[in-house]
Amino acid sequence: VVMVPYSVELNDISIIVLQQHESRVLYERTMAQFERLYREGEDSARVMALCVHPYVSGVPHRIAQFERIFEELTSRPGVLFWTNEQILDWYKSTREDA
């Protein structure tokens, strides 16, 4: 079993539905976590999971913040968008015992 890091702090249900923050808070938290992991990633790989739901972040009055996140993340050198399977394959390729 391989566990992929997941933070409930970057879940739109937690931020927008439960905590009732504006959609900009999803952007702010995502970018704060990303900036930290991006710096740490200079020395070793990092994984950041962002959990979003189309019925929360995909609605017309919130989608702009979600698009803004991806505009910023895709503009950064070295940032990859992988599926869980791709992450697992990469992880296995780095381990002798995998």
- pLDDT tens track of the chain, all 98 residues? 888 878 889 999 999 999 999 999 999 999 999 999 999 999 988 999 999 999 999 999 999 999 999 999 999 999 999 998 999 999 999 988 76
Domain range annotation of the chain: 8-93
pLDDT computed for residue 95 by the predictor: 86
- pLDDT of 34: 97
pTM: 0.86
From residue 27, give the alpha-carbon distance in Å to each of 44, 51, 64, 95. 24, 12, 10, 34
- C-alpha–C-alpha distance, residues 64 and 20, integer Å: 18
- Can you give the pLDDT at residue 97? 78
What whole-number distance in Å separates Cα of residue 85 and Cα of residue 7?
19
